[in-house]
Each structure stands twice: as C-alpha cells, then as structure tokens.
Structure 1
Amino acid sequence: MSHEEAISVKDTHQSDSTDDYNAGHFGPLAHVNTASSRYPAFGGDLQPGLYRVPKDRKLANPAPLGLCGFALTTFILGCINMQVRGVTDPNIIVGPALAYGGFVQLCAGMWEMAVGNTFGATVLSSYGGFWISLAITFIPGGFNIMGALEKADNGEPTMFYNSFALYLFGWFIFTTLITLLTLKSTVAFFSLFFFVDIAILLLALGYLLQVDGMPNEKLLKAGGLFAILGAFLAWYNAFAGIADNSNSFFLPPVVHFPWSEKKRSSKRATEGEV
C-alpha cells in the first residue's frame, strides 16, 4: 500500500468515527478517553465526572425534573422535623412523597438511564424508591406498619422508632457512597449530597437515641435543618440545569474544587500563559 493510500484509509476511518458519534451510535453522554473532548462535572446534568455532551441531544435533560422532585419533598420533610408552624404529624408528606418525590423522580431516573447517565439513573431512581417507601410507611391506616410494630412491642412505639432508625441508616450508607462519587465535581453538587447525608444521619440518630421513649427532638430538628439546606441546593442545581441564555438573564456560577480536572486545566493554562 502506498503512502497516499494509507493516508486515505486513515482519513476515511476518522470520518466514519465522527459520523458514528454525530449519529449517536456511541450514545449520549458517552465517555471517551480524550480529556480535551470532555466537559467538566456539572450538577445541572447530575454528572459528577468528565463527560462528553452530545451535539444533537434528542432527549431533554431529565436531571432538573428529578432534582426538583427531590427538593420539594425534602423541603417539606425538613420543615416537619423542625416543627415549623407547630406541624409535627408527618401525614402531609405522603402525597408529595408518592407523586412528586416518588413517581416523578423515579421516571426521571429511568430517563437518565435512556440518555446514558449511570450516576443520574442510580441516584434519582433510588431516591424515588426512598420517597415511595417512606410514604408507604406513613400512610394512615394503609399498610399499618406503625400499628403492627407497636402491637408487637406491647403497644409501645419503641420498636417502630428503632426499625425506622435502621431504615434511615441504610439510606445513610447509600448516600455516603454517592457523596464520595461527587468529590471531583463542583462545590454545589457535592454540598447537595453532603448535606442530605448529614440530614439522614441526624434523623436516624434521632429515632435511635430516644429520650423518655420519644425520638430525640434536638437531633430531629438538626436533621430537618440540614434537609432544608439540601433541598435548596437541589433546587440550585436544578436551576443550573435549566437556565441558559435563552430563558435567564443570569447563569448560576459553577465553582470547581481545586483538585478537579477543570480547575487543574485552568491552572495549567494560566501557567502556560505566564
């Protein structure tokens, strides 16, 4: 094969690869090895690491929808635990937890799977299941989970409190794992999961470390505060995923960690200019 023919074959191969990508054969948000062709982590897309943005996205970004469902339901739960306006009964959480935080967020997780975002699919689907299971627990007279546990404990709520604490500890472990996966992302993205993780831990401890047979009120209020902070961070990341120059006069700032790829790339570029 001549040198000219070899170059022709190479150019044809590169052209075919480009056509495959543009046609979507590699899938949206497909990970590639070349760092220069990847974009930094972004909470608005629920992407904690470097990823490639498709040129012609055929599906809308489902992350803001899932984040909003999580935010609103978490906000209500935080207010209840902080006893805002004297509200202490958790019944009002059942509706939002089943419909918005549960079903809608679960759908958003499935759509994340369709666009190729494993992290977003896992997180949104899991928390959608969390809210649905929480609603099932507190449906008045529905599954009678609280009543059955109290009956097994001679009418005392202690067994339910301990069981609910174990349930929350399981979600604390899951959220901790997810939080570790955001250490290379943005400050707002990491802070969202960090605050939610602390909130779940405090609520779990509040139900476990009872005072006079009742959940620890101080721990529950502290957990409620962190839940509200996590809710506003979820809304912030959702806004960042929706806002662009066509619908907003300003774009939320994206702050990267010093050790992130984006920050290190900027530092290398600055040092190169100097």
Structure 2
Amino acid sequence: MTDASVTVPAANPAALGLVAFGLTTVLLSLINAGVLPAGGEPVVLPLALTFGGLMQIIAGLAEFRVANTFGATAFCSYGAFWWWFALLLLFAGNGVIDISKAGPTVGVALLLWGVLTLYLWIGTFRLSRVLFAIFLTLWVTFLLLGLGSMTGNTSLTHLGGWLGLICGSLAMYGSFGIVTNATFGRTVVPLGERPILG
C-alpha cells in the first residue's frame, strides 16, 4: 500500500508580514519625521487596519502553522498594534473616546510596545542580521516616540520618525529578499543569514 499524501512546502509567511509592517511603518514615519503633514494620518488609518494590521495577523497565524514561535508572536503582536493605533485615532477623532485627559498614557503605551520589541530583539540574536537590525531600530523608535509623546518634545518624535523610516525600509528589504530568493531558488538578495550569536 502506498502513501498518497504529498507534503507541500509552505510559503514563508514572513515575506507578507514584513512588507505589511514595513510599508505601513514607512508611511506613518514620514508623518512622524515631519516629511509629510500631520494631517495625513487619516490616510494611514485604513492602511493600518488592512495591510499593517490584518495582513500581519494572517502572517502570524501562518507562522503558528509552520511552528515559528518568534514569527507568530511578532506578526500577531504588531498586527494588533496597528489595529490599536488606528482604532485609537478613529475613536478619539470621532468622539467615541476622550483622550484629552489621558496625559502621558499614550506615551507609556508606546514605551510598553518598546519593551515587547526589546525582548523580541533579544530573540533575533539567533536569527538573520536583517531581523536583528529591524528589531533594534524598532525598539529604539518606540522609545523615542514614547518619550516624545510623554514630554511633548517634537524633536524626539521627529527623530523617532526618521528611525522608523529606517526600520520600515529594512522590513521591506527583508520581504524583498525572502520573495526574490524564494522565486530564484537561491540567494540573490543577502539577508545576513549568519546569526549574531551562533
């Protein structure tokens, strides 16, 4: 009797998760850096809900299927971050919630996202160098944005925006590398596969 089942290798969900994160991050970071006007935030909201949020959660669920604990935790978490961000602005902008007396709470929330990112960054010491760089720049971005929000220091927010641009661009590069290398069946775009700590 022969086994009729065929194992089909799964596509790497990190390609989708990274580009969903990266593209959304670049657009918001352009606003945080002061390159685009703050009035452009409403353009980010649908992107944050659909691409940054939904697509990352789908990628995270796919990472569960391939037993990647790091990828599942990261993509589901940052997908939820984008939903939180979009819903916060939508609810506050439409009078559903009042954050005028929230004080430093939004800044503290950003710092907590930075704590999550810091612990995920430690995990990247055994992953590719591009992931190491993405998570390094991301936790520092959250730190700067959180402190900027808490203190009202726009220079910190702008600096966080510029670092967020680097982070988002690195994520898009990582997605580009995964897609291109998978399509060509060999390494065409280097991702620094040698881990920081072997």
TM-score range, shorter chain: 0.7 to 0.9
Please say if residues 69 and 105 of structure 1, whose CA atoms lie closer than 8 Å, have aligned partners that are also in contact. yes
Contact 2:126 2:197 in 1 (8 A): yes
Match of 1:180 among 122, 125, 137: 122
CA deviation vs aligned residue, 1:97-147 (integer Å, no higher than 9, x gap): 1000001111111111111111111100000000001000111644633xx
User: Please, which of 54, 76, 83 is the counterpart of residue 132 of structure 1?
Assistant: 83
Between stretches 242-251 and 99-108, larger displacement belongs to: 242-251
Is the 1:136–1:142 contact (alpha carbons within 8 Å) kept by the matching residues of 2?
no
**What's the TM-score once normalised by structure 2's chain length?**
0.87
Shift of 1:59: 2.4
Please name the residue that 1:71 is paired with.
22
Identity of aligned residues (%): 31
Name the structure 2 match of 1:220: 157
Question: How far apart are 1:69 and its partner, in Å?
Answer: 0.5
Q: CA deviation at 1:219?
A: 0.4
Residues 97, 57 of structure 1: alpha-carbon distance in 2 compared, 3 angstrom cutoff: same
Amino acid in the other structure paired with 1:100: F
Match of 2:20, as an amino acid? Answer: G
**Partner residue of 1:235 out of 165, 172, 187:** 172
Matched with 2:148 is 206
Q: Distance in 2 between matches of 1:66 and 1:254?
A: 16
Q: Which residue of 1 aligns with 2:190?
A: 253
Shift of 1:58: 3.5
Letter in 2 for 1:82: A
Deviation at 1:257, TM superposition (A): 5.8
Task: Note if contact 1:70-1:234 (Cα within 8 Å) is conserved in structure 2.
Answer: yes
User: Of Structure 1 and Structure 2, which has the larger fraction of its residues in helix?
Assistant: 2
Report the count of equivalent residues. Answer: 192
Q: Which residue of 1 aligns with 2:52?
A: 101
Q: Give the Cα separation in 2 of the matches to 1:250 and 1:257.
A: 13
Question: What are the Cα deviations for residues 134-164 of structure 1, in whole angstroms up to 9, with x where unaligned?
Answer: 000111644633xx132xx4xxxxx35x111
Unaligned runs of 5+ in 2: none
Alpha carbons 2:129, 2:196 under 8 Å: kept: no
Of 54, 61, 65 in structure 2, the residue corresponding to residue 110 of structure 1 is 61
TM-score when scaled to structure 1? 0.64
Greater length-normalized contact order (CA 8 Å, ≥ 6 residues apart): 2
**CA–CA distance in structure 2, aligned partners of residues 257 and 209 of structure 1:** 40
Question: Equivalent residue of 1:183, what SS?
Answer: helix
Gaps of 5+ in 1: 1-22, 25-55, 154-158, 211-215, 262-274
